Amino acid sequence: MMNLRRVVISGIGAVTPLGATMGVTWEGLLAGRSGIGPLTRFEATAFPCRIAGEARAFDPLLYLSKKAIRRHDRFIQFAVAAAEEAVADAGFSPAKEDSERIAVAIGTGRGGIETLERNVVASVIKGFKGLSPYLIPASLPNLAAGEVALRFGARGPLLCPSSACATGAQALGEGMRLIQRGSADLVLAGGSEAPLCATILGGYAAARALSCRNDDPTRASRPFDRDRDGFVLSEGSAVLVLEELTRALDRGARIYAELSGYGCTTDAYHPILPDPSGAGATRAIEAALKESGLTPGEIGHINAHGTGTIPNDRMETAAIRKALGPAAERVAVSATKSMTGHLLGASGALEAAITALALHHGIVPPTINLEHPDPACDLDYVPRQARELEAEAALSHAFGFGGINVVLAFRRYEELSHS
């Protein structure tokens, strides 16, 4: 059997509804602050849902020229910003690295959907002359990863998973595989999404998946709460620097956590709904634990997928109980979408970053708006206030349409754990 190399997280960057950096986002999470507000990206008066998690503090001019901003869809802009922060946070200079050993794995669920929508409307009105020469490169899903690779001169493998709401987590898992098996030494991994346009908001609203708590947006995202009425659509990106352990140690990197396990399964149950038994998610949790060499009793924290929809919340609770058994009673489960909303293809990467920070700092974010727990959701969801917790290991869950289940396992890193 191949001796797999160990993978650690040495840098984190993000753009979210809570802030334009991971640092500001983390502070907001610990404070229990909601990033949800009235939708301003387009005129939504006629829509049943008129709230969203907008990245209001994001300024693309801090990262890109005016010409580049016109050329790149917003999801690409987010990815560049998050990658810039992650690389700076990791404290390494790509120019001094072996570029062929640096990979990029950044996925998206929707790609350049704003660009597509804008060009479709323009072409209906003006015909061919309404189409932008930037339409194709701005809308291609892999151009976020491609632009980040170009920005940092990364000439190793380039991946762009697109697995709905599990995208960002799968990018991290596949990035981990590249390092474990020697195909790369460092990977910029994550997800990016800019879905706040009429087509996507309208589609989810038509499917009755969104919260319509328009008069009370900060309390709209309510995972595991009896009075939840759907998820809140959000935008943003998260990029993590994954690095081979000895390489990180040799350069004196600060290590947030070790990414030690990756489980990926499919329900094969329904195009949209999860298997209510939680069987697929249970197998993903078990696979991540097995690869990490962890037992259920060692898991102190879980960052839940926690969308705030009845089928997902109940399925996830059932899966945690089945996979962890009696140990599920002692696990602190945070649903941070209660504050960020749902970043679709970026959510799994953001929540993985939050999980790593929780292990590193010994504190877990709360689940806000949890006022009347659903009787079918009966775990410890860290209601309303952050909690100090010195966990040795944690999980981050990401489940998506198509029945995909991705679970990442993390170990708290201590220098003495190196062997």
CA 125 to chain centre: 37
Instruction: Give the span between the Cα atoms of 187 and 130, in whole angstroms.
Output: 38
Instruction: Give the span between the Cα atoms of 258 and 155, in whole angstroms.
Output: 24
CA distance readout (Å), 200 to 134, 193, 253, 355, 404: 21, 12, 40, 28, 20
Q: Which listed residue (72, 301, 342, 397) is catalytic? A: 342
Instruction: Give the span between the Cα atoms of 41 and 299, in whole angstroms.
Output: 40
CA 217 to chain centre: 21
Q: What are residue 303's DSSP bridge partners?
A: 334, 396
Which segments of 154-197 does DSSP mark as H helices, in order? Answer: 167-180
**Is there a contact between 239 and 102 (Cβ–Cβ < 8 Å)?**
no
**Is there a contact between 343 and 236 (Cβ–Cβ < 8 Å)?**
yes
Question: Would you call 372 a catalytic residue per the annotation?
Answer: no
- Tokens 């991705």 locate to 406
CA distance readout (Å), 274 to 122, 163, 254: 37, 14, 38
- Tokens 């010994």 locate to 362
What's the number of CA atoms in the CB half-sphere (13 Å) around residue 160? 18
Tokens of 243: 């690095």
Question: Would you call 305 a catalytic residue per the annotation?
Answer: yes
Q: Which listed residue (165, 197, 264, 377) is catalytic? A: 165
- Amino acid identity at 117: E
Instruction: Give the span between the Cα atoms of 22 and 45, in whole angstroms.
Output: 32
Question: Would you call 197 a catalytic residue per the annotation?
Answer: no
**Is there a contact between 10 and 102 (Cβ–Cβ < 8 Å)?**
no
Q: Which residues are within 8 A (CB) of 386 and not within 5 positions of it... i.e. 6 or more apart?
A: 29, 30, 31, 32, 363, 364, 365, 366
What's the number of CA atoms in the CB half-sphere (13 Å) around residue 92? 30
**Is there a contact between 41 and 199 (Cβ–Cβ < 8 Å)?**
no
Q: Is 316 helix (H, G, I), strand (E, B) or coil?
A: helix
Catalytic amino acids? 165, 305, 342
